[in-house]
């Protein structure tokens, strides 16, 4: 699975970063960065939770 972000929708609320900081990071300019675009299987439950928890639905998962 690959993590995607719609930067036009993302408001940098950092909910995803709080739930999966190994995968999501906000920089000093409030720009979201995907640190691990293809997280390992052992992280996927937390990543799915972060994607579902995005207040603006700016995150998605795609099959590789």
Give pLDDT, residue 64: 79
* Domain carrying residue 56: 2-62
CA distance 62 to 41: 14
**Single pTM value for the model:** 0.92
CA atoms within 13 A on the CB side of 36: 16
Q: For position 35, which CATH number holds?
A: 3.30.70.20
Q: What is the pLDDT of residues 4-58, one digit of tens each?
A: 999 999 999 999 999 999 999 999 999 999 999 999 999 999 999 999 999 999 9
Backbone angles phi, psi at 36, to 5 degrees: -125, 90
Give pLDDT, residue 9: 97
Domain count, the chain: 1
Which residues of the chain form beta strands (DSSP E)? Answer: 2-5, 24-26, 32-34, 59-62
Give pLDDT, residue 31: 94
């Amino acid at each position: 699975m690959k993590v995607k972000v719609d930067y036009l929708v993302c408001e940098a609320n950092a909910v995803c970063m709080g739930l999966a900081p190994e995968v999501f990071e906000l920089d000093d300019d409030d720009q979201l960065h995907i640190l691990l675009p293809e997280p390992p299987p052992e992280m996927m439950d937390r990543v799915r939770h972060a994607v579902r928890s995005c207040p603006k639905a700016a995150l998605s998962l795609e099959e590789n």
